[in-house]
Amino acid sequence: MAREKITHTLYAQKDGQAFIRVSEDALARLQVIMADEKDARLRIKILSGGCSGFQYNMSFDPELQSDDLLFEDDLAAIVIDEVSFSLLQGLELDYQEDLMGSAFQLKNPNSASSCGCGNSFSV
């Protein structure tokens, strides 16, 4: 029986209503990166383009913008701008390591379809 990987919920500090869910593996990886990159937060952004219409963009960023939603507690810090979050409500963040490499994985419940590589989606 597979265990449930999503174990942690982060709420937006602006309103306390918006949330994202994070797996144990993603939390562990975020903590390693955040220990090396002082004040850096994982920024998740949606850009126009990609083979399905929208594409995911992730980076580590110490800066906050006026339209950012900050999802932060003692374990993790994630930033998503309000426009991107409108396409990411209910997001689940995981981290996968396998023979092909390692990467954060986004499970977006708002995605109607996605491309084969998983980097772009449509709504």
Which tens digits make up the pLDDT trace of 96-113? 988 888 989 899 888 766
Interior angle at CA 37, CA 26 and CA 42, nearest 5 = 45
CATH code (residue 28): 2.60.300.12
CB 83 within 8 A of CB 67: yes
Distance CA 88, CA 108 (A): 6
What is the rounded CA–CA span in Å between residue 78 and residue 71?
5
| Residue 37 forms part of a structural domain | yes
Query: Does residue 68 sit within a domain?
Result: yes
Number of structural domains the chain divides into = 1
What pLDDT, in 10s, does the model give residues 20-31?
A: 999 999 999 999
4: pLDDT strictly greater than 60: no
Q: What is the pTM of this model?
A: 0.83
pLDDT tens profile 33-78:
888 887 789 999 998 876 667 888 999 999 999 999 999 998 899 9
Contact (Cβ atoms closer than 8 angstroms) between residue 28 and residue 95: yes
In a domain, 1, yes or no: no
- β-pair type (120-122, 54-61): antiparallel
Residue 96 lies in a domain: yes
